[in-house]
Structure 1
Amino acid sequence: MFTIEQCVMCGCKDVRNQTLTIPVNMQGIVSVNVLGAKCSNPDCLEEYYDNVDAGVIRELKELIKRQALIGRINPLHLQSEDYRISSAEAARDNDAKEISFVVKENESDEVNKEYIDTRELDELWKQAIGIEEYERRKALHEKRKQRADYNKDDLNIPECVFCGSDDVPNVTLDIELQPNINQVISINFKIRAAKCSKCGEEYYDSETTELLSNIEKLIETKSNL
C-alpha cells in the first residue's frame, strides 16, 4: 500500500488509504475495487491508485471492446430457439449426438453467420434427437414463450438439463471475481442469465462465458508477473 502525503489537486494532507470503487459499466462489468487512497476534502475527493492497477483496468476495457467486435454464432441461441443438446445431457446419454456448426473464416468461403435455414435446422434436430423428443422440446419452448419473464434477448431456458424443472426464469446475477493482482481486490459483474428455481443451476450465454474466461486468463497472466 502506498502513502499519499498531500493531495496534488487541493493540497489537503488528509489523504486516507481505502478501497476505491472504479466504475467500468461495460458489457456487464459494473466496477473494479482496488486498494488506493482518497482525499478527505469534500470539495476535492481526488482518488489515487498505482499504475499497475490503472493498467489492469485499461486492459480489461480493451478486452471487452475487442470481444464486442468479434462476430460469432452463439451456441445458446440454439437453446433459446430450438433447444440445443446440452453437454450435461450428452454426458448422461451415451447415444446422444452432438451438432456442431463450423464457420470458415476464409473470405473466399464466406458464409452468413447470422442465418441458418429454419427448415434445415429442424431436420438436423429431428435426426439428432428423434422426432418425439424434438416435438416435446418444441412444445416446451412454446410454453416458455408464454411466461411473464420471456424476453427475446434473454436465454429463455425451457427446461433445466440437470433436474428437468421447467421453472428456469431469466435473472440478473451479481458475480464477483477476486484476482490476486497487486492492489486489485475484486471485479464486479452484473449479467443477464437464467437460474433454475429447483436445483439452482445457473446458465450464461456463450458471450458471457467467453468474456469471463478471457478475464480470468488476463487475471492469471497479471498474477504471474
Structure 2
Amino acid sequence: MAQAAQQNDRRARLDPDTIVDAVLRLSRQEPTERLTFRRLGVELGVDATAVYRHFRNRDAIVRAALDRLFGLAVERTQSGGGRQAWRTRLEAYLDELMTVFIQHPSLGSEAFATDTYGPGELQAIEFVLGCLTDAGLPEERVVHYYAALESYTLALGAGIALEIQRLPDSAGHDPWLNPRVFTALGGHPLLEKHRTALTRLDSLGTFQAGLAAILDSAERDSTLSATT
C-alpha cells in the first residue's frame, strides 16, 4: 500500500521540469545509453506512457533537455560575477557549454542537429551576440562571428560527446590522431616535423585551438574597426 501511494504521488507531481531533471540524470549516469521513454519511465517510477502527456515524442524531450543545458552554461558563466572583457566572457561560456556536453554526452551528441527553440538557447544566443557587440565589431561582423562560433562549437561538441559515448573514460582527451598515423611517415615531411606536437593533441585541445583562431580573428576585426 505504501509503495502504491508513493508511486501515485510521483505520478501526481510529474511535470515537464521533473521529466527534464530525470533526463539530465540519466544522460550523466548512463553516458553510453540512448534515451528511451521506457528507461525514463523507470527512472521516474511511472508508466512510460505518462511522459507522453507532457512531451509528444523523444525529440521534444531532447530539445527541452538541451535547452536546459544551454541555459545552465550561461548561468554558470554569469555566476562568476564582475564585468569581464568580451573575449573572456565568450571563452568562459563556450568552455562551459563544452563541459555540459561532455557531462551529458547522450544529449551533447545531438546538439549540432537539434534546435531547441527554447528560452535557454535564446538566452545563450543573446549572450554571444552581446559579447561580440561589446567587442566593437560592425553589425554584419557580429552575426558573422556568431555563426562561426556557434557552428564550430556545436559541431565539435557533438563530436566529442559521441567520442565519450564510445570511450566513456576519455572525457574529451582521446588523441586527435590515431597513433597508427605515425608508424609510416615516409613522404610526409611536415607530419614528421610536427610529430611531437601532433601526438599531444587531443579533442579538447583541438577545440581550444580552433576557438582561439576564431576569437583572434574577431579581435583583429575589432581593432581594425576602431581605427577606421
TM-score, normalised to structure 1, is 0.23
TM-score, normalised to structure 2, is 0.23
Larger helix share, 1 or 2:
2
Larger strand share, 1 or 2:
1
